[in-house]
Amino acid sequence: MKDIVTVGIIGAGRIGKLHAHNITRFVPTVRVAGISDIVINESIKEWAGALGIKKVTTDAMDLINDPAIDAILVCSSTNTHADYTMAAARAGKHVFCEKPIDLSVAKGLEAVKVAEEHTVKLQLGFNRRFDHNFKRVRDLVEEGKVGDVHIVKITSRDPAPPSPAYVAVSGGIFLDMMIHDFDMARYQAGSEITSVHAVGAVLVDEEIGKAGDIDTAIVTLTFANGAIGVIDNSRKAVYGYDQRVEVFGSEGCAQAENDTPSTVKLSNADDVKSDKPLYFFLERYKDAFVDEISAFADAILTDGEVLVDGMDGIEDMVAALAAGKSLKEGRTVTIAEMKVELGL
Amino acid sequence: MKDIVTVGIIGAGRIGKLHAHNITRFVPTVRVAGISDIVINESIKEWAGALGIKKVTTDAMDLINDPAIDAILVCSSTNTHADYTMAAARAGKHVFCEKPIDLSVAKGLEAVKVAEEHTVKLQLGFNRRFDHNFKRVRDLVEEGKVGDVHIVKITSRDPAPPSPAYVAVSGGIFLDMMIHDFDMARYQAGSEITSVHAVGAVLVDEEIGKAGDIDTAIVTLTFANGAIGVIDNSRKAVYGYDQRVEVFGSEGCAQAENDTPSTVKLSNADDVKSDKPLYFFLERYKDAFVDEISAFADAILTDGEVLVDGMDGIEDMVAALAAGKSLKEGRTVTIAEMKVELGL
Amino acid sequence: MKDIVTVGIIGAGRIGKLHAHNITRFVPTVRVAGISDIVINESIKEWAGALGIKKVTTDAMDLINDPAIDAILVCSSTNTHADYTMAAARAGKHVFCEKPIDLSVAKGLEAVKVAEEHTVKLQLGFNRRFDHNFKRVRDLVEEGKVGDVHIVKITSRDPAPPSPAYVAVSGGIFLDMMIHDFDMARYQAGSEITSVHAVGAVLVDEEIGKAGDIDTAIVTLTFANGAIGVIDNSRKAVYGYDQRVEVFGSEGCAQAENDTPSTVKLSNADDVKSDKPLYFFLERYKDAFVDEISAFADAILTDGEVLVDGMDGIEDMVAALAAGKSLKEGRTVTIAEMKVELGL
Amino acid sequence: MKDIVTVGIIGAGRIGKLHAHNITRFVPTVRVAGISDIVINESIKEWAGALGIKKVTTDAMDLINDPAIDAILVCSSTNTHADYTMAAARAGKHVFCEKPIDLSVAKGLEAVKVAEEHTVKLQLGFNRRFDHNFKRVRDLVEEGKVGDVHIVKITSRDPAPPSPAYVAVSGGIFLDMMIHDFDMARYQAGSEITSVHAVGAVLVDEEIGKAGDIDTAIVTLTFANGAIGVIDNSRKAVYGYDQRVEVFGSEGCAQAENDTPSTVKLSNADDVKSDKPLYFFLERYKDAFVDEISAFADAILTDGEVLVDGMDGIEDMVAALAAGKSLKEGRTVTIAEMKVELGL
């Protein structure tokens, strides 16, 4: 059995670079053989050289067709995710694809099917499933420590809103932000979502409203196993990235609180002060970004299952689209109805 | 100005006795002059004697018409709340009425109007507004410490379900249990509810389902001030009474956690163990039951406003009824539409 | 068997009044028949009347010799504690005596012996043993949850220093303040102290130093069972009354944290704020003051043992005196040597 | 100015390898050019090759005399620390030396002086000063948030005792274990220790007693700035590595709690369970081991001060020796007297 996975990374933006750094430092089972980007300048070459990445190219196909490469990390812009995934799968490469797999469910599904046909692993970048806190909650659930799941609650609030320009092309709060929480809800419930109902408001930034989106939302969920759930999102929590999960069941309740920079508290004449949560996703999910790549490599090396596969991404998108429809129409939207509408 | 309020208590059941005990021990501004119940036995006489309650009667009107009595505490069965409230108001007595004021909104409203017409104070027994934790959250909100309110979250779970027999006559989870949370939501948001959407399930006890009710529910809310909210209820949390509130806004987030019997934690080879929440409402709201009566007395003695008045009770009921309708019809129900339906 | 204990209270100062109030409100097994003080004015008479206390007298012997009285609560000034205890014991009354039993160990011991000879219960007012948190720690220790006790740690800091005038007659920090902690240490360790070593400093208030005392101290302890311990005291913690206990052993560690007015935390752009500890002993030990009297009554009614008896008070004083000697002489002082010096 | 420090590592044991790994992964300002050990086998060569370490030698002087090397990390056995430090200093190399610098204070001091004479940086491996929690406490102290320091409290307990064989050559609990806490105490107090008093016991493992050592100890401290302090040590905390620090002062109290693997708590019918502390120093001080090397490199590159220098190591040793003497002689031992005895 091989003991190392050689990868090529498509996209040398923030997330592509993050994965390259993480692999070099922390993932002994993976080696980065090459990286591509539509623009390659001296700075990227230098950076790649420092990390020992030999191949630096403007043509992603150079990586996809490289016989020395086992797997492709698709870290390019969203509109290219599905195409690169399919090209890589057709070349027999395993694929780790950043989320979402596409803004179109149909095209995303096509990519998933191509990966299946070519029997390559396809893992999506839902990094939160690898967070130490959320994984601990899920472990407790799987060990039966909360009994039958009755209620799943997820709080997910960003420290600061994106620019209105970003919002305009983001697909909206449900597809851009809450999609992570739909994935987390399905993961924690151990069951598929059957219906959603959304309420939302523009409370953080009027420009977001002008861009046709909302910045504050609560979505209730029903699951196939009978459980119910709720997700709340805000684009702006002044105290930092608020990422909490709670699973309540017949035998108990597991709750994950935020991580903080330190455990120190200061008691003085005013009150007792402790640290705010870690600032944002790069801080909070630092280790999760590493662990998702390690797990991807393990799945390849042991021919095991990936923790979050292509169909997870499709299900998450359908839930997000249903939430959007619910908000617009002021009613509960079933996943079944949404799938019919999407022709799935 | 008078410095003491003389009260008569109608109903010598659990809650009537609790108030009598509390007043005797902890509320120097109130004196219990009499108590009535439809059945008076030796045990009640003895109990009243021990507390120094002089008048013990089977006729509530003996109290209502007693010129030495300033105010009536209505602690009898729900179906008599409105009638006693009106009778007391007509006799010029201030009224503290246990919730709900009636199972019919129309009759409840009639009672509220009679109290208004006779310019007597009418306070309802929504004791949670007087809880030290929830009051602290509200104080922070009022002081502007969370800024504009964006999201109100309430968790409210009982330690054990009531009997199916009780459930059958309770009015259902929304009127019997979540009504406290609708009241808390309005209190914390500082704004009226404008619409509700409910999801629910029978996950705790099938007998509750057979009685036509649910035992697990999540309701999302919109408020007149633009905020949104969510309440989750379960009839059975094995770890005890779970009563938490969170108010999130533009400047911060205030969270009230559960109370526990002690602050002690035990670290051993397995894990770190700490106390479960206080068992149920008698433990958790022990002081709140006292404080609501103190506040009622203060409102009378200073001719001030009560913290939770008759119209609060009406609004809470409308929200509960709307939630029931939402669950039944699978759609968002506005408070406006519910009021039209109720002829309000 | 009798089911109620009738008591007379000697001393109508702050602590005597506190006990009278507590008994009236919370201790159904005790009845206050009379109260004495060297000065009785109208205000005290009125207060006693309101509580239903029939006998109000300037002569403590009126209570001690009253055949209707079962037990005496000695709440007068320290220099009279031993004398009243002995007089009451000789009259066959059980005695609850505020700490210390005397500033002289010899006289305190005499009082203890007189109580023993007349086979009356003698309980001292070390209220902290009845604190819900510290009792929980002790219960865990007794249940074997921490295994063999290795280390006992006690933090005890007051919110504000007493006046230098008080300090001058207080007996010093060890006899006045840390004596509570010596008692707690013996209680938690379940073993007698065998030696002490003290370090101390004047860091809070120079006037305390001028009065010949210190305001900050750390004392290490050895126990007969082999365990070791440490107590730290400060006369001024700006954040309030800091009362923590930790028992570490072969199987685990039990820790009691401070109590707070609420569980609420506020997260904002600066940090996460939570409540300071309860302000001082009246707040923190509110229930403990009640429970110590209940327990005293139970010991009388069931002819059981008191939780903190006269010899506990003597042992605590010897430890305090040894600590003073240790500080003065800059060396470890054994309890055995101290007892020899005291002629015990 | 140079922007990278080239180091040679003497000693390829656990700690030498840890530093090599950390540097390679996390410290971009440092490059490992070579490593030496008295025994070099294939496994070490392979390991070094994988990390890109070019020079692997059995002769430490190969590194010390290598003109391409700027600094030496002394990670060999304790008895060689001082000699290698001096040799490196004489060759003009900066030195990072694991603690203790020697078991003999005199020889340690000689090494410190040689480093001073050759004006090279000398940093000792007291990694805890770089811990995120303890550093946060110190920052608060330096910012004046606790006011004048009155009390420093340190709890330091290992998860499991070392072998009696190790204990026999360790120098004893004060030199081997508590020396870290003396260093932490001096760091947090911002002041030198002036006297110590120790109590101790053999409670964990009788074999440790037979080896002439103790396994449980409490040491009180006085500081030059007037503050007092206390350290407690145990060789065995069944719940894991217990590393807490508290600094109490005129304006407040800063407390560092343990780190845990997750923030998750599980509430069930028994109690509320949360994670034990991280297991041992490799887990708890993972980042601190990295940060101490980064800081060493920064001190070299900017010609700044090291955070923990040679004289810190000497002071820590003197305190440890004084504690041993105090335990043996049952009395307070001043640092001044200890220094006289040591000829300092």
Mean pLDDT, residues C28-42 taken together: 96
Question: Is C201–D226 a contact, with Cβ atoms under 8 angstroms apart?
Answer: yes
pLDDT tier, B164 (very low <50, low <70, confident <90, very high otherwise)? confident
Among candidates B239, B268, B270 on the partner chain, residue whose Cβ is nearest the Cβ of D269:
B239
Q: Which residues contact A14 (CB under 8 A, 6 or more apart)?
A: none
**Chain C residues touching residue A271 (CB < 8 angstroms):** 273-276
pLDDT tier, A169 (very low <50, low <70, confident <90, very high otherwise)? confident
Query: Nearest-CA residue of chain A relative to D247?
Result: A266
Q: Residue D170 above 90 pLDDT?
A: no
- Contact between C248 and D259 under an 8 Å Cβ cutoff? The reply is no
Distances (CA, A) of D254 to A37, A73, C148, C157, D226: 49, 45, 30, 15, 18
- So what's the pLDDT on residue C165? 87
- Angstroms from A313 CA to nearest CA on chain D: 26
Note the maximum CA span of chain D. Answer: 67
Mean pLDDT, residues A128-138 taken together: 98
Question: Is B201–A236 a contact, with Cβ atoms under 8 angstroms apart?
Answer: no
Residue C304's SS3 state is: coil
Question: Is D271–B267 a contact, with Cβ atoms under 8 angstroms apart?
Answer: no
**Chain A residues touching residue D275 (CB < 8 angstroms):** 136
Length of chain B: 344
Per-chain mean pLDDT for chain D:
96
Q: Which residues of B touch C (CB under 8 A)?
A: 25-26, 132-133, 136-137, 140, 145-146, 251-259, 261-269, 275
For residue range C46-80, list pLDDT tens digits in order.
999 999 999 999 999 999 999 999 999 999 999 99
What are the φ and ψ backbone dihedral angles of A222, each rounded to 5 degrees?
Answer: -120, 150
Question: Is A272–C274 a contact, with Cβ atoms under 8 angstroms apart?
Answer: yes
Query: Nearest-CA residue of chain C relative to A160?
Result: C269
- Contact between B33 and B56 under an 8 Å Cβ cutoff? The reply is no
Q: Residue D287 above 70 pLDDT?
A: yes
Query: Nearest-CA residue of chain D relative to A134?
Result: D264
Question: Is D264–A256 a contact, with Cβ atoms under 8 angstroms apart?
Answer: yes
Q: Residue A1 above 80 pLDDT?
A: no
Question: Is C238–D252 a contact, with Cβ atoms under 8 angstroms apart?
Answer: yes
For residue range B278-299, list pLDDT tens digits in order.
999 999 999 999 999 999 999 9
Full DSSP string of A20-31: HHHHHHH-TTEE
**Chain C residues touching residue A269 (CB < 8 angstroms):** 238-239
Among candidates A269, A270, A274 on the partner chain, residue whose Cβ is nearest the Cβ of C272:
A274
For residue range D181-204, list pLDDT tens digits in order.
999 999 999 999 999 999 999 999
Residues forming a β-bridge with D10: D36, D74
- So what's the pLDDT on residue B2? 79
Using DSSP bridges, classify how beta strands B333-334 and B193-201 pair: parallel, antiparallel or unpaired. antiparallel
Q: Which residues of C touch D (CB under 8 A)?
A: 147-148, 150-151, 153, 155, 157, 195, 197, 199-201, 203-204, 216-218, 220-222, 226-230, 232, 234, 236-239, 242, 248, 250-253, 330-332
Alpha-carbon distance of C55 to C303, in angstroms, equals 27
- Angstroms from B297 CA to nearest CA on chain A: 32
For residue range D201-239, list pLDDT tens digits in order.
999 999 999 999 999 999 999 999 999 999 999 999 999
**In the structure encoding, which two tokens stand for residue A278, read together?**
């870690």
Question: Is B201–A227 a contact, with Cβ atoms under 8 angstroms apart?
Answer: yes
Return the CA Rg of chain C.
Answer: 20
**Chain D residues touching residue C252 (CB < 8 angstroms):** 238-239
Q: Which of B154, B156, B215, B234 to mutate to test binding with chain A, by most A CBs within 10 Å of its CB?
A: B234
Residue for token pair 């909210």: B229
Alpha-carbon distance of C7 to B301, in angstroms, equals 36
Alpha-carbon distance of B28 to B26, in angstroms, equals 6
**Chain D residues touching residue C204 (CB < 8 angstroms):** 150, 250
What 8-state DSSP symbol labels residue A226? S
Residue C314's SS3 state is: helix
Q: Where are the beta strands (DSSP E) in B127-207?
A: 149-157, 193-201
Q: Is D70 exposed, middle or buried (0-12, 13-18, 19+ CB in 10 A)?
A: buried
Prediction ipTM score: 0.95
Give, rounded to a whole angstrom, the gap between the first and last alpha carbons of chain B. 38
Q: Residue D141 above 70 pLDDT?
A: yes
- So what's the pLDDT on residue B1? 60
**In the structure encoding, which two tokens stand for residue B200, read together?**
């629910």
Q: Find the helix packing angle between B105-117 and B310-329, rounded to 10°.
A: 170
Which segment of B167-171, B276-280, C216-220, D264-268 scores lowest on mean pLDDT? B167-171
Question: Is D264–A136 a contact, with Cβ atoms under 8 angstroms apart?
Answer: yes
Using DSSP bridges, classify how beta strands D216-223 and D228-234 pair: parallel, antiparallel or unpaired. antiparallel
Residue C297's SS3 state is: helix
Among candidates D153, D228, D234 on the partner chain, residue whose Cβ is nearest the Cβ of C216:
D228
Q: Residue D1 above 70 pLDDT?
A: no
Torsion of CA A286, A288, A291, A293, to 10 degrees: -90
Q: Chains that contact A by 3+ CB pairs under 8 Å?
A: B, C, D
Q: Which of B4, B130, B258, B262 to mutate to test binding with chain C, by most C CBs within 10 Å of its CB?
A: B262
Among candidates B238, B251, B332 on the partner chain, residue whose Cβ is nearest the Cβ of A238:
B251
Query: Nearest-CA residue of chain B relative to D276?
Result: B271
Report the share of chain C in percent with pLDDT over 70.
Answer: 100
For residue range C15-28, list pLDDT tens digits in order.
999 999 999 989 99
**Chain A residues touching residue C271 (CB < 8 angstroms):** 273-276
Alpha-carbon distance of D71 to D121, in angstroms, equals 9
Q: Pick the residue with more confidence: C292 or C166?
A: C292
**In the structure encoding, which two tokens stand for residue C24, read together?**
């009236």
- So what's the pLDDT on residue D165? 87
Return the CA Rg of chain B.
Answer: 20
Per-chain mean pLDDT for chain C:
96
Helix count and strand count (H, E) for chain D: 14, 15
Question: Is D272–B275 a contact, with Cβ atoms under 8 angstroms apart?
Answer: yes
For residue range A175-217, list pLDDT tens digits in order.
999 999 999 999 999 999 999 999 999 999 999 999 999 999 9
- So what's the pLDDT on residue C1? 60
pLDDT tier, B320 (very low <50, low <70, confident <90, very high otherwise)? very high
Question: Is C252–D238 a contact, with Cβ atoms under 8 angstroms apart?
Answer: yes
**Chain D residues touching residue C237 (CB < 8 angstroms):** 248, 253
pLDDT tier, C164 (very low <50, low <70, confident <90, very high otherwise)? confident
Nearest to A294 by CA among A3, A30, A21: A30
Q: Is B251 exposed, middle or buried (0-12, 13-18, 19+ CB in 10 A)?
A: middle
Nearest to B46 by CA among B17, B74, B26, B71: B17
Alpha-carbon distance of D141 to D251, in angstroms, equals 10
Mean pLDDT, residues D254-278 taken together: 98
Phi-psi region of B92 (alpha: psi -120 to 50; beta: other; left: phi over 0): left
For residue range C282-317, list pLDDT tens digits in order.
999 999 999 999 999 999 999 999 999 999 999 999
- Angstroms from C234 CA to nearest CA on chain A: 15
**Chain C residues touching residue A274 (CB < 8 angstroms):** 271-272, 274
For residue range D86-114, list pLDDT tens digits in order.
999 999 999 999 998 998 999 999 999 99
- So what's the pLDDT on residue B293? 98
- Contact between C252 and B269 under an 8 Å Cβ cutoff? The reply is yes
For residue range C98-135, list pLDDT tens digits in order.
998 998 999 999 999 999 999 999 999 999 999 999 99
Q: Is C233 exposed, middle or buried (0-12, 13-18, 19+ CB in 10 A)?
A: buried
Q: Which residues of A touch B (CB under 8 A)?
A: 147-148, 150-151, 153, 155, 157, 195, 197, 199-201, 203-204, 216-218, 220-222, 226-230, 232, 234, 236-239, 242, 248, 250-253, 330-332
Mean pLDDT, residues A316-337 taken together: 96
- So what's the pLDDT on residue D344? 87
Query: Nearest-CA residue of chain A relative to D250?
Result: A268
Q: Containing H/E element for D62?
A: helix D60-64
| Identity of the amino acid at C204 | V
Alpha-carbon distance of A180 to A174, in angstroms, equals 9
Question: Is B254–C262 a contact, with Cβ atoms under 8 angstroms apart?
Answer: no
Among candidates B26, B257, B262 on the partner chain, residue whose Cβ is nearest the Cβ of C263:
B257
Q: Which of D244, D268, D272 to mutate to test binding with chain B, by most B CBs within 10 Å of its CB?
A: D272
Question: Is B257–C264 a contact, with Cβ atoms under 8 angstroms apart?
Answer: yes
Give, rounded to a whole angstrom, the gap between the first and last alpha carbons of chain C. 38
Q: Residue B219 above 70 pLDDT?
A: yes
Among candidates C239, C242, C269 on the partner chain, residue whose Cβ is nearest the Cβ of A239:
C269
**Chain B residues touching residue A221 (CB < 8 angstroms):** 199
Mean pLDDT, residues A55-73 taken together: 97
Alpha-carbon distance of C130 to B243, in angstroms, equals 28
Q: Which of C260, C272, C278 to mutate to test binding with chain A, by most A CBs within 10 Å of its CB?
A: C272
Among candidates B229, B234, B248 on the partner chain, residue whose Cβ is nearest the Cβ of A151:
B234
Query: Nearest-CA residue of chain D relative to B275?
Result: D271
Alpha-carbon distance of C217 to A30, in angstroms, equals 57
Q: Which residues contact D329 (CB under 8 A, 6 or more apart)?
A: none
Question: pTM higher than 0.90 for the full model?
Answer: yes
Length of chain D: 344
Mean pLDDT, residues C227-243 taken together: 98
Question: Is B255–C267 a contact, with Cβ atoms under 8 angstroms apart?
Answer: yes
Mean pLDDT, residues B7-20 taken together: 96
